[in-house]
Structure formats: C-alpha cells, structure tokens
C-alpha cells in the first residue's frame, strides 16, 4: 500500500510539472544537429572499430547495430569472451536528446558515457592507458587525433570524438513528425486514434517531449508491482524512494528495438503496451486499444542515419 501511495504522489507531481512546463507536447526532431564534421568522422571510425576492446573483437556496433535500430535485439548483450551483461542495451539513435545516459542516468551526457563501455569488464574490457597506447601506435588514428586535437590521443579526446559522432545519429522525418508538422495524412487513422489514447490514458505523462521519453525518471511498477530485480537509481543514491526508479526510455523507433524494458522481459510491442498500462497506470486496456497505440508507436520510426 505504501508503494502505491508513493507512486501516486510521484505521478501527480510529475503530472503537474508536465502541465506547468507544457512538456506534454511531443515535438518533431530537428533534421540535423550541428557538429564538427571531421571529429564526427573520426568518432564514426572509432564507433565501428574493435580496437577499443581488449581482444579486438567487440566494437560499439556489436551492441548498437545502426542497421538494427541502434541496439542488438537481445535481452542482454554479449561483450568480450562471450560474457553476457545484465541490462538491456538501449538504442544510440537520438540518445543525444536524452537528459541523461544509461537506465539509471549515471552519465550526464554522451561524452561522459562514451568511455564506460570501453572499461566495462563484461563489455569491451579494456583499460584507458592501453587503449590510448593502441590508438597512438596506429598511424591511421594517431595522425587524425593530432590533426583535430592539439593534445592528440587522450581519453578526453577519444570520448569527445565518439560523442560528436553520436550526436549525428538522429532519426528525423518519421511519419509522426511529418504529421506534427502538418501533413495530416502522414499517419494512418489507427495511429491517430492511438495517439489520442496515448494522451487520454496518461502515457504522455512520462513519455513526452522531443524524444517521447528520455527526459525524466520514474518508478517501474507504480500500480502493479513489476517485480524488478534491479534497483535502478537506488544504486546511485541509496534513497529508498529511488528503488526501481529508471530513466523513462525514449519511444522513438521503439518498433525496432525489441525486446523491451531494462530487463528485456517483453518480446513484443503489444506486451510492452499492455503491461505499461497495468504497471504504470493501473488501467485495463482492450486489445483494440493496444493495437491502436502500437500503430501510433510504429509511426515514430524515422530515417536512420548510418
Ligand atoms: C557489450 C555490449 C555493449 C557495447 C560493446 C557497448 N554498449 Fe553501449 N550500452 C550497452 C548496454 C547494456 C547499455 C545500458 C547500460 C546501463 O544502462 O547500465 C548501453 C548504454 C549505452 C548508451 C546510453 C543510451 C541511453 O539511452 O541511456 C550509449 C549512448 C551507449 N551505450 C553508447 C555506446 C558506445 C559509444 C560504445 C562504444 C564505445 C558502446 N555503447 C559499447 C551495451 C553495449
Ligand atoms: C509513470 C510513468 C510512465 C507511464 C505513465 C508510462 N510509462 Fe512507459 N515506461 C516508463 C518507464 C519508467 C519505463 C522503463 C521501465 C523499465 O524497464 O525499467 C517505460 C518503458 C516503456 C516501454 C519500453 C521501451 C523500451 O525501449 O524498452 C514502452 C513501449 C512504453 N513504456 C510505453 C508506454 C505506454 C504505451 C504507456 C501508456 C499505456 C506508458 N508507457 C506509460 C514510464 C511510464
């Protein structure tokens, strides 16, 4: 009962906030993001290169495949030596628009995030001194870093190049964005009805803004216990009220990024929508309504930049 009370309070505080900030409006993504093109090109090469991993077998692409929606389609990803991680890999597409990075928000931005997978023992398993040594020894990289950064290959510059590239990984012009911009026939009537339900039922309270999510934290399992074994933000803050609190994920391109939730518990978008309604809103939702919301969510798939 206590849990339910806390959840309700969080819900109402957020609801009021959202109304105050008028953040419930979903905004279209910009067509481009301004970056230094040469640094982005260097970041692109690094993102695709296994040189960043200990045994040169894993690249960022291994778990964030840009041809597959920017994730790997697995419940939990595999890093070096076939080791499996313990949390679902989110997409890197549009990550630049998230207010924080990682499910528990422990990185403030893309640059702060970028070195974490390199040194994570179950992902790329490298050390920063060693990866810098490898990059300096590579004529291809050493020369490029020296040309673009006065201090050449450093951990900070490595993170900067990768983050600069990631800023370009956006997916503008989804049917829904075209609809928002005035093309009323850009989405099917079923998707329009789904959008109406998405607002009416309250999904919009948490999934709003440019990324349809990615701009606040919330508890996973407010009305119905989600039986999460992971503690989310509690691991960072130690506050009881932060148990099972995660970053609300962006729903852009969500049709391409199954399985769903931080633990990949649902294989289908249908189940994700059905259970969100129960966990987060405590509402029964009909089969037809689920299909309509699903149609709306499918209209959020944009143009992938590769
Ligand atoms: C072995 C798989 C694996 C590799 C390799 C990997 N990642 Fe990830 N990535 C993940 C997982 C899993 C998470 C979620 C971790 C968490 O939230 O605690 C994640 C999270 C992220 C996020 C945060 C997205 C968000 O919405 O919160 C970004 C950005 C990202 N990775 C970029 C990269 C970059 C850049 C590289 C290469 C330097 C990389 N990843 C390598 C699995 C991987
Ligand atoms: C009170 C906040 C809140 C509300 C309301 C809410 N969600 Fe969510 N949603 C979340 C959080 C938090 C997560 C991440 C859960 C986790 O894995 O820890 C999430 C995850 C999801 C996911 C999975 C995304 C992914 O990439 O794994 C989908 C799909 C989704 N929500 C759709 C909906 C729909 C549809 C509704 C309305 C029926 C809704 N949500 C209502 C907070 C909310």
The pLDDT tens digits for 246-295 are 999 999 999 999 999 999 999 999 999 999 999 999 999 999 999 999 99
The pLDDT tens digits for 205-235 are 999 999 999 999 999 999 999 999 999 999 9
Q: What is the pLDDT of residue 25?
A: 81
Residue 207 CA, ligand 2 centroid: distance in Å: 7
Q: What is the pLDDT of residue 15?
A: 60
Q: Which two tokens stand for residue 95?
A: 């990550």
Q: What is the pLDDT of residue 127?
A: 98
207 CB less than 6 Å from ligand 2? yes
The pLDDT tens digits for 280-292 are 999 999 999 999 9
Chain centre to alpha carbon of residue 230? 18
d(CA 193, CA 176): 12
Contact 230, 38 (CB under 8 A): no
What are the angstrom distances between the C-alpha of 107 and each of 34, 197, 301? 22, 33, 26
d(CA 257, CA 215): 19
Domains of the chain from N-terminus onward: 2-29+172-298 (1.10.760.10), 37-167 (1.10.760.10)
* Confidence bin at 9 (pLDDT 50/70/90): low
DSSP designation for 70: T
Ligand nearest to the CA of 280: 2
The pLDDT tens digits for 184-199 are 999 999 999 999 999 9
User: Degrees (nearest 5) of the Cα angle 158, 160, 161?
Assistant: 70
Q: What is the pLDDT of residue 305?
A: 73
Contact 31, 181 (CB under 8 A): no
Contact 228, 275 (CB under 8 A): no
Q: What is the pLDDT of residue 177?
A: 97
Contact 245, 7 (CB under 8 A): no
User: Which of 201, 258, 280 has most ligand 2 atoms within 8 Å of its beta carbon, as the pocket-test mutant?
Assistant: 280
The pLDDT tens digits for 45-86 are 999 999 999 999 999 999 999 999 999 999 999 999 999 999
User: Which of 203, 232, 269 has most ligand 2 atoms within 8 Å of its beta carbon, as the pocket-test mutant?
Assistant: 203
Residue 64 CA, ligand 1 centroid: distance in Å: 7
Kindly report the pTM of this predicted structure.
Answer: 0.93
């Amino acid at each position: 009962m206590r849990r339910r009370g806390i959840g309700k309070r969080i819900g109402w505080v957020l609801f009021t906030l959202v109304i105050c900030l008028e953040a419930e409006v979903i905004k279209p993504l910009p067509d481009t993001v301004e970056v230094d093109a040469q640094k982005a090109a260097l970041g692109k090469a690094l993102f695709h290169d296994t040189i960043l991993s200990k045994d040169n077998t894993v690249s960022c692409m291994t778990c964030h495949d840009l041809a597959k929606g920017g994730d790997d389609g697995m419940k939990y990803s595999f890093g070096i030596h076939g080791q499996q991680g313990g949390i679902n890999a989110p997409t890197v597409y549009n990550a630049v628009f998230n207010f924080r990075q990682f499910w528990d928000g422990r990185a403030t931005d893309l640059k702060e995030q970028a070195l974490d997978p390199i040194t994570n023992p179950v992902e790329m398993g490298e050390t920063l001194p060693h990866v810098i040594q490898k990059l300096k020894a590579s004529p291809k990289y050493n020369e490029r870093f020296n040309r673009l950064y006065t201090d050449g290959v450093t951990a900070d510059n490595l993170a900067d190049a990768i983050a600069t590239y990631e800023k370009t990984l956006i997916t503008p012009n989804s049917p829904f964005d075209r609809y928002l911009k005035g093309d009323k026939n850009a989405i099917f009537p079923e998707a329009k009805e789904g959008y109406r339900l998405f607002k009416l039922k309250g999904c919009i309270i948490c999934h709003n803004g440019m990324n349809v999510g990615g701009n606040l934290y919330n508890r996973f399992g407010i009305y119905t216990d989600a039986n999460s074994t992971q503690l989310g933000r509690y691991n960072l803050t130690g506050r009881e009220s932060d148990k099972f609190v995660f970053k609300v994920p962006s729903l852009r391109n969500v049709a391409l990024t199954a399985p769903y939730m931080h633990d990949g518990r649902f294989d289908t978008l249908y189940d994700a929508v059905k259970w969100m309604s129960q966990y987060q809103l405590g509402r029964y939702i009909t089969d037809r309504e689920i299909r309509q919301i699903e149609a709306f969510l499918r209209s959020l798939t944009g143009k992938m930049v590769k």
